[in-house]
Amino acid sequence: MTALSEIKDGLGEKIVDCYQHSPKRFYLKIKSKDLKVAADFIFNQLKMRLVTCTGQDTPQGIEILYHFSLDKTGEIFSLRLLLEDKKNPSIETLALLIKGADWIEREMWEMLGINFIGHPNLKRLLLAEEWPKENFPLRHEHEHE
Amino acid sequence: MSHKIVVPIGPYHPLQEEPEYFRLYTEGENVVDIDIVLGYVHRGIEKLSESKHFDQVPYLVERICGICSNSHPFAYVNAVEDLAKIEVPERALYIRTIIAELERLHSHLLWIGLAGHFIGYNTVWMWAWRYREPVLDMFEMITGNRQHYAMMKVGGVRRDILETDVPLLKKTLDELAPAADMFKGAVMDDPVIHARLKGIGVLTKEQVIEWCVVGPTARASGVDIDVRRDDPYGVYDKIDWNVIVQKEGDVFAKAVVRILEMYESISIIRQCVDKMPKGEIDANVKDVPAGEGIGHVEAPRGECFHYVRSDGTNRPVRHKIRAPSYVNVASNKVACVGGTISDAAITLAAVDPCYCCTERTAVIDRQTDKKILNGWDLVRLSQEKTQRLKK
């Protein structure tokens, strides 16, 4: 049984859309409310490793990709979700579930202004203390010199 | 009430001589908690990348790290080639693999030297760096540069390996193999190093999985992962080689993994040189279509991950980069706690972290605000522990 079919069996209708870009690269769209259940299943049941997350400012909202790697086969499954409220994007934290998510959530919080609800230590990771608040470098409205 | 003292290692790391700040909370000799502060050399490369065209990005990402300056461009070109489904000529794949393994050799030699210095084995330091020099000479011969080789490009490599370069490359590898034997003997047969490094800075298999740790740091804890085998790129699937795994998870196991990996690297380069076919080295890519791609490579420190998204213009619309130290350094939160101050230096260094610059540290008594120790005192403490063990 392939990992993809295991995910589809385990998460059922929580997978809104799925596409395979190349033999070992899969992108699975989910709703933001299902993130914790999906991540828990993929990390704890299927034993995948959280590589990192990519946050992105898109015209439709703030998009987050959670890249999971199945090291046995070299496949990478990226969970994709969209936070439509660009003013106050927020999502449940994964840091309590996966310790490796701690830093990348802090980074997305300071770079894109995404609020990770329940994060145990949501403070700046890379930006300086004196960097102005509400100025998120990876948002498109941010002008860099 | 216990008397807690904060031992700040940094903001310029006294040993790696790069900016990163470890705040150790100690009770007596023991480290009870650690706070990691970073970002001193954050340059906004992900954002900068959005303003470069696809052919300029390798030069940019090469400058993320001076030591593994091939790994980032390699992961980036893999990502763009995944995005655009580009077939790379076979000779270029062989050349990429040779450069990547030469890089692992010089990086591991660098670490062995530094680790030797931290525990008071300055002879190991001098010898390791002496044998690193010929590897850098090979880079200069092949690429024109000792660092920042500028070899990777989307669709191929920028320079060929000339037939006239091959004899010297082979000779250098032949001379490096006995040096690797020497280091193996110096570390694995020395009772003082066993006493000094075994059981120190242990990271268990479960902790590695929880913290999503990668590379030699994960392999030293019995987690058998290596991108080169798991998701082959370059020509790693056409070459006969082994993934080195140890079970113990301590600093000693991490040293053993890196030393044994040097043999594999030498063997991989030898096989590549012999098997390398003649032919083109560049697919001459003109455009990158809209889409997204993921590339990852096994850098000397672990998996280096790049995600690239294109909207069909000549620049990436998003470029996410995750270097291996990003996850490995975070694991110091568990590896360091429970040890002593004299072991903190080598434990923090054992993940082979990658940052840059000069030293500044001070141990300050919180109650009296008086300075007790500086950076060199930390090195001295670590070296003195080895001296005690030698007696």
CATH code, A30: 3.30.460.80
**Which domain does A53 fall in, by range?**
3-88
Over residues B311-327, the mean pLDDT reads 92
Question: Residue B158, SS3?
Answer: coil
Chain A hits for B326, CB-CB cut-off 8 Å, are 52, 103-104
How large is the ipTM? Answer: 0.95
Question: In this structure, are residues A64 and A91 in contact, taking their beta carbons and an 8 Å threshold?
Answer: yes
Residues B97 and B192 in one domain: yes
Following CA atoms A106, A111, A113, A117 in sequence, which dihedral angle do they give, to the nearest 10 degrees?
-10
Report the residue of chain B nearest A142, measured CA to CA: B47
What is the C-alpha separation between A3 and B187, in angstroms, rounded?
42
Range of the domain at B385: 361-391
Å between A99 CA and nearest CA of chain B? 5
- Note whether residue B316 is domain-resident: yes
| Cα B37 from Cα A126, distance rounded (Å) | 8
Q: How far apart are CA B224 and CA B230, in angstroms?
A: 10
Which residues in chain A touch residue B305, judged by CB atoms under 8 angstroms apart? 51-52, 67
Give pLDDT, residue B19: 75
List the structure tokens of B381.
Answer: 């403490």
Q: What is the CATH number of the domain that holds B138?
A: 1.10.645.10
Tell me the pTM: 0.90
Answer yes or no: is A36 within a domain. yes
Both B172 and B281 in one domain: the answer is: yes
Helix, strand, coil abundance in chain A, percent, nearest 5: 30, 35, 40
Cβ atoms of B351 and B41 closer than 8 Å: no
Which residue in A has a C-alpha nearest to residue B292's C-alpha?
A: A21
**Could you report the per-residue pLDDT of B273-283, keeping only the tens digit for each?**
999 999 999 99
pLDDT in tens, B261-275: 999 999 999 999 999
Are both B142 and B82 inside the same structural domain? yes
In a domain, A103, yes or no: no
User: What's the pLDDT at B356?
Assistant: 34
**Residue ranges, chain A, pLDDT below 50:** none
Residues A75 and A86: beta-carbon distance below 8 Å: no
The DSSP element (H or E) to which B342 belongs, if any, is helix B341-350
Q: Look at chain A and report how many structural domains it folds into.
A: 1
Residue B313 included in any domain: yes
- Please indicate, yes or no, if residue B14 is contained in any of the structural domains: no
> Is A122 inside a domain boundary?
no
How many Å apart are CA B24 and CA B5, to the nearest integer? 8
In a domain, residue B18? The reply is no
Share the mean pLDDT of chain B.
Answer: 87
Spatial CA neighbour of B103 closest among B269, B240, B329 = B269
Average pLDDT over residues B145-161: 93
**A130 found inside a domain:** no
Instruction: State the DSSP string of B291-309.
Output: EEEEEEEEETTEEEEEEEE
**Which pLDDT belongs to residue B360?**
33
Distance of alpha carbon B336 from alpha carbon B85, whole angstroms: 43
Rounded to whole angstroms, how far apart are CA atoms B45 and B57?
10
CA–CA gap between residue A71 and residue B231 (Å, rounded): 8
Same domain, B323 and B377: no
Q: B33 in a domain, yes or no?
A: no
- B87–chain A Cβ distance below 8 A for any pair: no
Label the pairing between strands B291-299 and A115-117: unpaired
Q: Are both B201 and B316 inside the same structural domain?
A: yes
Is residue B15 in some structural domain?
Answer: no
Does one domain contain both B278 and B329? yes
Confidence of residue B101 (pLDDT cuts 50, 70, 90): very high
Of B317, B334, B351, which residue is a domain's last?
A: B334
- Quick check: B342 pLDDT over 80? no
Q: How is residue B224 written in tokens? A: 């058998």
Taking each helix axis from N to C end, the angle separating B341-350 and B251-275, rounded to the nearest 10 degrees, works out to 20
Question: Are B293 and B258 in a shared domain?
Answer: yes
Helix (H) or strand (E) holding B376: helix B375-390
Instruction: State which residue of chain A sits closest to B48, comparing Cα positions.
Output: A144
The number of folded domains in chain B is 2
pLDDT at position B11 is: 75
Q: Render B258-277 in DSSP notation, one character per residue.
A: HHHHHHHHHHHHHHHHHHPP
- In this structure, is residue A79 part of a structural domain? yes
Cβ atoms within 10 A of the Cβ of A143, count?
A: 5
Within this chain, do residues B82 and B231 fall inside the same structural domain, yes or no? yes
Please tell me whether residues B72 and B108 are part of one structural domain.
yes
B226 and B366 share a domain?
A: no
